[in-house]
Chains A and B, each alone.
Chain A
Amino acid sequence: MAWLLEPWSMGFMRDGLLASLVAGLSCALLGVYVVFRRMAFAGEAMSHTTLPGLVLAQMQGWSLACGALASNLATAIGIAVLSSGASRRRGVREDATIGVVFTGMFALGVILMSFGGSWRDFSHLLLGNILSVTPSDLWFMVGAACAIVMTLVLLHKELELSSYDAHYADLIGIGASRMRMIVLVLVALAVVSGVQVVGVILTSALLVTPAATAAMFARRLIPLMAISVAVSWTAIVVGLYLSYFCSLPPGATIVALAALIFVCAWTWRRIVGA
């Protein structure tokens, strides 16, 4: 059984595991709202729109997490503001707004990359490099996870109500737009954590796949979140083992495993017919 402990004898693997579990927790919890509020496209967009912030931060020697967060917060606020009047026929629909902001920000990131030297220098931003996580990255992820968990607990009833009945949330003064903005900001925090694990391109998988898997097994919010976290952590732990013993890229292996769990769960549900 010594082989089971072997990967964790190395500091960079331990830090990588811890960072992945924390980022996985943030993404899996919030992923339930992303899936059931039908915001998967927004999650995908948020991960891609970190690119200009990440590239600028790397070129200037700033913290990558801060660069990604600034980029994502600008995106979240931009989406919320531009689509805020859509229900009253005054704004652009949210999906169209996301499409515009997402591609615009990603294009800006690519342009910035062209000023910054070799494309290879930025490959870790696109595909993640969890095994080189720094203590400051780790602290950022822990802080983001705490903020997400606290918000989900303190605003549980408001987030829940505005998710299934935006009109009623508006009527009683909660404000559906305010809640949507909060969800987008939380998604921004989760995505910045996830980007460090699996990179810009694959982060939305950490948000969507565990929650989509959980949706096949539970119909209440808390059990859904528990299953979503379990799926995410299983993919992360097994993925890091596979990465270590088979020399596979860790981020991509984690995402591929999460997708495999989803397919297995879907197949099992079809077989048992439930």
Chain B
Amino acid sequence: MKIECLAYGGRHLHAPDPAAPALRLADVTVGYRGIATPVLSGVSFTLPVGARLALVGPNGSGKSTLLKTIAGLIPCNRGEIGVFGLQVRACHHRTSYLPQREEIQWHFPVTVERFVLGGRFVHCGWLTKPDSADHAVVAATLQELDIVSIAREPIDQLSGGQQQRVMLARALAQGSDLLLLDEPLNAVDAATRTLVGRVLARLQKEGKSMLVSTHDVGTHDQPFDGVLLLEHGTVREVAHGVAS
């Protein structure tokens, strides 16, 4: 049984609005102090529950900043973000964020299994250890991502494709309903691309919502429900019903 007062930062304490979309942004503006031009300016869009939206745009267009803002890692200066009808951070145990590989300190001494187990920590909270159910989720996830054979390997021994699988495994192990994926197919081999595509398709069938940052929607095997084009921090175009 989870004890509410031990939940990290009030996670788990707010019930989501069942009628709300997975994600709703209204006039979101993000900037850094001392820099006149905002990184994101007036971004508005809605991601319905169960939909998969591609976030495309050139380097520096603000894709990663947008994902980090939704994840609550960067505060927005203006506008509103609703995640399942709640404010950012209120129910982030239901939100997974897959960062770019460079943002992880891969030299740190943890095994692949322990890294993936990190996805369960949000459900444990302070002073509690992951239980057998958490370990069972991790075992199933390692199996699905085909990384059982490297489960005991330290993470500093992994190739780029393995790193991508391990990060996705942690996001899956969290069991969230909204996935924010930053370049999940960046510099991965064909086998990993196929595997990731299969896993994302399975998640969508289960009603998970996804916002996927990518340079090229053509590299994804499965079609997107819509494409969001971001240029110079502003949404230029939203196309619906777009196939890969």
Q: Does B72 contact A (CB under 8 A)?
A: yes
Binds B, one of A63-71, A162-170, A245-253, A264-272: A162-170
Q: Given A164-B104, A167-B73, A171-B72, A89–B121 Cβ distance below 8 Å? A: no
- Contact indicator per residue, chain B 93-133, by CB within 8 Å of chain A (1) or not (0): 10101010001111111110011001001101011011000
Bound-state CA distance A89–B65 (Å) is 13
Q: Does A219 contact B (CB under 8 A)?
A: yes
Query: CB distance B97 to A171 under 8 Å?
Result: yes
Q: Does A224 contact B (CB under 8 A)?
A: yes
Q: Which residues from 165 to 203 on chain A have a C-beta closer than 8 Å to any C-beta of chain B?
A: 165, 167-168, 170-175
* Chain A binding surface SS class: helix
Residues of A within 8 A of B161 (CB): none
Bound-state CA distance A173–B4 (Å) is 13
Bound-state CA distance A164–B111 (Å) is 12
Query: CB distance B8 to A174 under 8 Å?
Result: yes
Q: Does B68 contact A (CB under 8 A)?
A: yes
Interface residues of B (CB under 8 A from A): 7-11, 32-35, 68, 71-75, 89, 92-93, 95, 97, 99, 103-111, 114-115, 118, 121-122, 124, 126-127, 129-130, 154-156, 170
Q: Which residues from 79 to 135 on chain A have a C-beta closer than 8 Å to any C-beta of chain B?
A: 88-90
Query: CB distance A219 to B8 under 8 Å?
Result: no
Q: Given A88-B32, A164-B104, A173-B92, A224–B109 Cβ distance below 8 Å? A: yes
Query: CB distance A172 to B8 under 8 Å?
Result: yes
Binds B, one of A7-15, A22-30, A153-161, A234-242: A153-161
Query: CB distance B121 to A157 under 8 Å?
Result: yes
What is the chain A residue whose CB lies nearest that of B156? A219
Bound-state CA distance A218–B156 (Å) is 12
Q: Given A89-B32, A157-B129, A219-B156, A165–B8 Cβ distance below 8 Å? A: no
Bound-state CA distance A196–B239 (Å) is 67
Would you list the 9 A-B pairs with minimal beta carbon distance, nearest first? A173-B9, A173-B8, A164-B108, A219-B154, A172-B122, A164-B105, A89-B32, A219-B109, A161-B118
Q: Given A90-B32, A171-B95, A164–B110 Cβ distance below 8 Å? A: yes
- CB A186 to nearest CB in B, in angstroms, measures 17
Residues of A within 8 A of B34 (CB): 89
What is the chain A residue whose CB lies nearest that of B118? A161
Query: CB distance B110 to A221 under 8 Å?
Result: yes
Query: CB distance A218 to B104 under 8 Å?
Result: no
Query: CB distance A165 to B105 under 8 Å?
Result: yes
In the complex, besides A164-B108, A165-B105, 13 extra interface pairs with C-beta distance below 8 angstroms are A36-B108, A37-B108, A154-B127, A157-B118, A161-B121, A163-B108, A164-B104, A164-B106, A167-B103, A171-B95, A172-B9, A219-B156, A221-B110
